[in-house]
Amino acid sequence: MGYQNSLAVRVLQMMTVVMILLVVACGPAQQTGAPVTGADVPLEKKLEGSTQVKAAEVAKQRGGKLVMSQSSAFGNPNDPHLPATATGRIYFQPVTNGILKRDLYEKYAIAGDLAKSWELSKDGLTYTFKFNQGVKFQNVPPVNGREFTSDDAKYLLMRITADPSVVLDKWKPRFQRAIDFGKIDTLDTPDKYTLVVKLKEPYSPFLDAVANPGTVVIPKEFVEKFTEKVVLEGAVGTGPFIPVDYKNQQIASYKKNPDYWKKDSAGGQLPYVDELNFLYFADLQTELAALRSGQLDVSRSAADINKGMVTGLQRDVPNVQVFRTPVANITNFRFNTKVKAFQDVRVRRAFHLAIDRYQFSDLITEGLGVVSGPVTSPVFADVTNTTEWLQQQPGYRKDKTKDMADAKQLMKDAGYGDGLTLGALGYISAGVSSADVLALLADQLKPLNITLKSETVDYAGQWLPRATAGEFELAYMSHTVGTDVDSVIAAHLLGGAPRNYGKFSSQKLDDLIKKEQAAITSEERKKWAQEAEQVIFDEAPMLFLYTNVNTMLASPWVRNAASGAIIGSEANLVEQAWLDKH
């Protein structure tokens, strides 16, 4: 019962530091049954009290310094194209632009960034991007204010796909998002402002991958000043801010780019503020104290802020802005299918049936978590199934009587009726431990005579290299994903995928994922995605838990505040924010 005592003090602190925010619809607009919302509490209720995101307004005053929190250390290498160091995107976020973006102020729709327009050929194979002219990189070495061209966009896609002409072989495994762009056949630049991307076959998630905030343009000459061709320090781009100072686990500071190419709706120069600081807080109470005192403008420690903290802050800081949104993240337990016990689907299925996901949501997230599957989730509104359907699936039924009986029989049939002892790997990051999550899992598995030998290790120093190398039996994982379902089912479960840490392989699932990827219509894609989800439930390579609902806090004087999606998506916010302190 140690996890319950601990949770009374810090209910949400075991959630991963790579948690992210996402503004999405609550499910398909017209569908039989309700969209997935987890337990019996509607998603709208979980988001109750959230500040409404409004269209960005023209600033009534300029200048000042915007101060935002950063609850995790930046990565090293500090390279936004390496998802294993996802916090590196935060450092680059104010400095760069992408080809496309997700617009915080327009329901998170895909919008142009460096590209002013794009079109897709009728056969679904060729994307043509037209870029804004006159865009310049920041006036700092080694680019010194040179013009951005289509060659820079081509280099971005070559690098993120780990093209051997721009990425050293030793670093290729770290460019895990190459799978998102693996269908690219050719890249052509017919002129300075046009990029033509031809695919080998239709690939429906392509634009979402391009709009991901990790898909940002970094000049080739900056990257190649590093011997390893991987960014170790500094940042250069076409974005609204220029780096000034960086001290890991302390501060990242920036100054306004005076030559930034974007204007507001009235034709005024962006950004509005003169300076930007990201402050590192190892302790949440210190961070909230800084918000109360006015030293901090925006708190982004979303996964750690519980209901009581929000209530107290609203009492102390009238009109504080509270943004609650579902997160694009998969919280899960991963089986290493190279381990003998987990090579047997009966054992994996027994775990899948035995765990109580609703108890995880109640105890770990104060009930804010939305019990979800790999496809049925509020994040993937275009393909999600319904709450009713999910709650009828074995493993997701609230009454665990039959699930537990079936799980016990499966363990007996697999030869483990007398018990099984396994190692369980968790992590500690920025003072946040997943020990409570592992303790709850161990408690739920006791009826199966399963004993977990749990260990929590430093996230960056031990957990990350061990997890990516498959040096675990069972591991607790929480991953940043995209806004497309392929960022889960393909990136984490397709045979040979770089984020398939459990080394799972299923030809049946692979075939369905490939059909989903090649689908031209949304109806066809939804059909294949939902069939893939059923196979995932049947073969149980992972135990999906819930989608969390996170909280971002902004002081009353921060205008154009809005919560974002994947790490780095606050680029819209720092570009548009202004401070109304008078």
Please give the structure tokens belonging to residue 292: 């109360």
Mean pLDDT of 156-178: 93
SS3 110: strand
Mean pLDDT of 527-544: 97
Best-predicted range by mean pLDDT (140-149, 286-295, 311-320): 140-149
What are the Cα distances from residue 127, in Å, to 59, 199, 203, 237, 452?
36, 8, 11, 24, 50
Q: Please tell me whether residues 177 and 101 are part of one structural domain.
A: yes
- Give the pLDDT of residue 5: 38
Of 213, 237, 261, which residue is a domain's last?
A: 237
Q: Please tell me whether residues 81 and 35 are part of one structural domain.
A: no
Contacts of 517 by beta carbon, 8 Å cutoff, 6+ apart: 183, 202, 203, 204, 205, 486, 490
CA pseudo-torsion sign 490, 196, 123, 163: negative
Of 208, 237, 266, which residue is a domain's last?
A: 237
Q: Please tell me whether residues 188 and 336 are part of one structural domain.
A: no
Give kind and range of the element (H or E) at residue 127. Answer: strand 126-131
Residue 224 lies in a domain: yes
Q: Which of 513 and 547 is assigned the larger pLDDT?
A: 513
CATH number, residue 175: 3.90.76.10
pLDDT > 70? residue 39: no
Phi and psi torsions of 245, nearest 5°: -145, 150
Residue 284 lies in a domain: no
Mean pLDDT of 571-579: 86
Q: How far apart are CA 553 and CA 44, in angstroms?
A: 19
Mean pLDDT of 15-42: 34
- Give the pLDDT of residue 333: 98
What is the share, in percent, of the chain residues with pLDDT greater than 70?
86
Residue 534 lies in a domain: yes
Residue 40 lies in a domain: yes
Is residue 237 within 8 A of residue 138, CB to CB? The reply is yes
Is residue 493 within 8 A of residue 481, CB to CB? The reply is no
Residues facing residue 98 across a β-bridge: 216
Give kind and range of the element (H or E) at residue 350. Answer: helix 345-354
Q: Please tell me whether residues 337 and 420 are part of one structural domain.
A: yes
Where does the pLDDT of residue 570 fall: very low under 50, low under 70, confident under 90, or very high at 90 and above? Answer: low
pLDDT > 50? residue 572: yes
- Give the pLDDT of residue 176: 82
pLDDT > 50? residue 21: no
* Vertex 309 angle, CA 459 and 439, to 5°: 40
How many Cβ atoms from other residues are within 10 Å of residue 290's Cβ?
A: 17
- Give pLDDT tens digits for 88-103: 677 888 999 999 998 8
Residue span of the structural domain in which 412 resides: 2-14+30-47+327-549
Residue written as token pair 């896609």: 157
Residue 293 lies in a domain: no
Rg (the chain; Cα; Å): 23
Q: Please tell me whether residues 337 and 207 are part of one structural domain.
A: no
Give kind and range of the element (H or E) at residue 196. Answer: strand 194-199
- Give the pLDDT of residue 11: 33
Residue 344 lies in a domain: yes
Number of compact structural domains in the chain = 2
Task: Indicate the pTM of the whole model.
Answer: 0.76
Please give the structure tokens belonging to residue 88: 């590196």
Q: Please tell me whether residues 466 and 372 are part of one structural domain.
A: yes
Task: Describe the crossing of helices 522-539 and 486-493 by its angle, rounded to 10 degrees.
Answer: 40
Q: Please tell me whether residues 439 and 523 are part of one structural domain.
A: yes
Give kind and range of the element (H or E) at residue 433. Answer: strand 432-433
> For 406, how many CA atoms within 13 A lie in the half-sphere containing its CB?
17
pLDDT > 70? residue 43: no
Residues facing residue 479 across a β-bridge: 330
- Give pLDDT tens digits for 379-407: 787 898 998 999 999 999 999 999 999 99
| DSSP code, position 461 | I
Where does the pLDDT of residue 311 fall: very low under 50, low under 70, confident under 90, or very high at 90 and above? Answer: confident
Q: Please tell me whether residues 80 and 38 are part of one structural domain.
A: no
pLDDT > 70? residue 7: no
Mean pLDDT of 319-334: 86
- Give pLDDT tens digits for 192-216: 999 999 999 999 899 989 998 889 9
Give kind and range of the element (H or E) at residue 44. Answer: helix 43-46
CATH number, residue 486: 3.10.105.10
Q: Please tell me whether residues 474 and 417 are part of one structural domain.
A: yes
What are the Cα distances from residue 553, in Å, to 38, 51, 52, 92, 220?
24, 9, 13, 22, 37
Mean pLDDT of 263-288: 92
Q: Please tell me whether residues 421 and 493 are part of one structural domain.
A: yes
What is the share, in percent, of the chain residues with pLDDT greater than 90?
61
Of 237, 256, 281, which residue is a domain's last?
A: 237
How many Cβ atoms from other residues are within 10 Å of residue 24's Cβ?
A: 22
Q: How far apart are CA 165 and CA 162, in angstroms?
A: 8
Q: Please tell me whether residues 386 and 524 are part of one structural domain.
A: yes
Q: Please tell me whether residues 436 and 514 are part of one structural domain.
A: yes
Residue 146 lies in a domain: yes
pLDDT > 50? residue 29: no
How many Cβ atoms from other residues are within 10 Å of residue 70's Cβ?
A: 23
